[in-house]
């Protein structure tokens, strides 16, 4: 479980205990149930991260809701959108190894994350990631219930594939944009796991051979992250 789980869950647990001491049983039960939900929401399970060269892993747990052609600043590519239900793990992970060249926070609305316009109009962090084979973009998008997107990284940071990079609180959406040469491996309706499910294979024949070895070595270190 990440630290935010204790921040939000322990006060509820304490209030529940006080309610029981005062024999306010119904409020005590409700507070205890809410505390258990919060602890569950902020869980942070370990994930096995593939070392296959060119693999782009899911940045989040959830269900694929969109796979569509989409341009990014005039460059053709595809967008994969993942919907995170309230019961999914909400810790987000880097889809590939590389360096963060830009991280833009965009204030916005809070449409239901299932809606198409959420990708453009909702509050979001837009993260540009430079990899060995080019630049990709992924977004943390707030939903109707989620009211905060949190990124623990900043521009200039280097990340490993599957590394924890942030979270979105209470139901949300994550988008991944890849150039058209990436081979998409998922279809709408599939359930994916952050850090372990492969969304696409993206590699060039002239990509540095050392990339796979670096990913393999670094993936063994991903387990520590922000968890406690």
Instruction: Identify the DSSP state of 96.
Output: S
Q: Quick check: 2 pLDDT over 90?
A: no
Report the C-alpha gap between 76 and 96 in whole angstroms.
Answer: 20
Instruction: Identify the DSSP state of 163.
Output: -
Read off the pLDDT of residues 172-220 as tens digits, 9 standing for 90 and up.
889 999 999 999 999 999 999 999 999 999 876 554 444 444 444 444 4
Read off the pLDDT of residues 129-186 as tens digits, 9 standing for 90 and up.
999 888 999 999 876 554 578 889 999 999 999 999 998 876 688 999 999 999 999 9
Read off the pLDDT of residues 87-99 as tens digits, 9 standing for 90 and up.
888 899 999 999 9
Give domain limits for the chain: 3-41, 55-203
Catalytic residue positions, numbered: 172
Instruction: Outline where 24-68 has alpha helix (H).
Output: 25-41
Strand residue runs (E) in the chain? 55-57, 62-69, 77-84, 91-93, 98-106, 124-131, 134-142, 149-151, 158-159, 164-168, 172-179, 183-184, 191-192, 198-201
Q: Binning pLDDT at 50, 70 and 90, where does residue 221 land?
A: very low
Report the C-alpha gap between 221 and 195 in whole angstroms.
Answer: 13
Q: Which residue in 162, 215, 201 sits closest to 49, CA to CA?
A: 162
Beta bridge partners of 84: 172
Q: Name the pTM for this structure.
A: 0.76
- CATH topology assigned to domain 55-203: Glucose Permease (Domain IIA) (2.70.70)
């Amino acid at each position: 479980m990440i630290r935010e789980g204790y921040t939000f869950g322990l006060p509820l647990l304490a209030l529940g205990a006080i309610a029981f001491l005062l024999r306010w049983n119904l409020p005590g039960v409700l507070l205890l149930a809410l505390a258990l939900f919060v602890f569950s929401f902020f869980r942070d399970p370990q994930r096995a991260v593939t070392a296959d060269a060119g693999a782009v892993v899911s940045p989040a747990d959830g269900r694929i809701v969109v796979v569509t052609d989409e341009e990014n600043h005039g460059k053709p590519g595809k967008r994969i959108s993942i919907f995170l239900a309230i019961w999914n793990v909400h810790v987000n992970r880097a889809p590939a190894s590389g360096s963060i060249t830009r991280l833009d926070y965009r204030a916005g609305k809070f449409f239901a994350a299932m809606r198409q316009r959420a990708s453009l109009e909702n509050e979001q962090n837009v993260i540009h990631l430079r990899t060995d084979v080019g630049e990709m973009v992924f977004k943390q998008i707030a939903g109707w219930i989620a009211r905060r997107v949190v990124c623990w990284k900043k521009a200039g940071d280097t990340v490993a594939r599957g590394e924890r990079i942030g979270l979105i609180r209470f139901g949300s959406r994550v988008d991944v944009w890849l150039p058209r040469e990436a081979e998409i491996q998922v279809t709408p309706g599939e359930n994916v796991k952050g850090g372990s499910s492969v969304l696409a294979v993206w590699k060039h024949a002239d990509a540095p051979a050392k990339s796979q070895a670096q990913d393999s070595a670094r993936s063994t270190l991903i387990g520590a992250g922000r968890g406690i």
